[in-house]
Amino acid sequence: MTDLRVCHLYPEHLNIYADRGNIAVLRARCRWRGIGFAAIACGPGDPLPDADLYYVGGGQDRDQLLIEDDLVGRAANLRAAIDDGAWMLAVCGGYQMLGHYYRGHQGDEMRGTGLVDLVTEAGPTRMIGNISIDCELRPGQPLTVVGFENHAGRTRLGEGVRPLGRVLHGHGNNGRDGGEGAHAGRIVGTYIHGPLLPKNPALADLLIAEALGRRHGTVALEPLDDRLEGMAHDAALAIAAG
Ligand code: GLN
């Protein structure tokens, strides 16, 4: 049977703005299609489960600090899993920890996993508000992704790392270069909460299809009735445009 295995990293620590809703969407969209689904929680000290998709949500600086050592200690295993075909989705605080470091506004520095060549430094103000981006995670399949952002961190991508998308409305990575998030191979990072996936079903399906590919090859996902999700998406897009 086709099934998706998701590892939810630090659900007790990194789960701001209902980020766990992303797991609920992945579960629902698999089940509606008769695809098996398992989400395995992985907290500090737990063994890293074998998974098709590793997911980490957002959190405040102090929450990130609580899992810093554990997450950094998993960097090599996560790298190996991704090289083996797994995907990773990281939101906000989790996204920042994909990089080399996160420097707080007081100069305190937290290490990241270095899975993606990026760094984050907090600024004096928070970047808060509704956001929309143009995204082309899969070449030739442009999407508009919508949601909400709230971060002090300004993220800069290394040379050769592509943003997940271009900001239409909102701040994105740093409020300056027009980029939002990062897409590096099978790793996707984004500042977008909302949570991200309920209003962006096309992005959810893309991640499901790609992650299923690790063990099941190319899987054609049956279309779902996304009228409600589409309305939520379009409403969020209009709100972001002000
Ligand atoms: N602590 C980070 C920041 O403020 C992330 C916040 C979040 O996950 N919403 O930049």
| Interval 5-18 mean pLDDT | 95
**How far is it, in rounded angstroms, from Cα 103 to Cα 85?**
31
Pairing of the two strands 179-180 and 143-157: unpaired
What is the 150 CA–ligand 1 centroid distance (Å)? 6
Q: What is the pLDDT of residue 106?
A: 84
pLDDT tens-digit readout, 42-100: 999 999 999 999 999 999 999 999 999 999 999 999 999 999 999 999 999 999 999 99
**How far is it, in rounded angstroms, from Cα 105 to Cα 117?**
21
| Cβ(94) – ligand 1 distance below 6 Å | no
Reduced to 3 states (helix: H, G, I; strand: E, B; else coil), residue 53 is: strand
Known catalytic membership, residue 8: no
Q: Which range marks the domain in which residue 91 is found?
A: 3-241
Task: Tell me which amino acid residue 115 is.
Answer: L
| Cβ(189) – ligand 1 distance below 6 Å | no
Number of domains comprising the chain: 1
Known catalytic membership, residue 30: no
106-127 burial, b if ≥16 CB within 10 A, otherwise e? Answer: eeeebebbbbbbbbbbbeeeeb
**Max Cα–Cα distance, the chain, nearest Å:** 51
What is the 60 CA–ligand 1 centroid distance (Å)? 5
CATH number of the domain at 41, please: 3.40.50.880
What is the 93 CA–ligand 1 centroid distance (Å)? 5
Q: What is the pLDDT of residue 17?
A: 86
Does this model's pTM top 0.85? My answer is yes
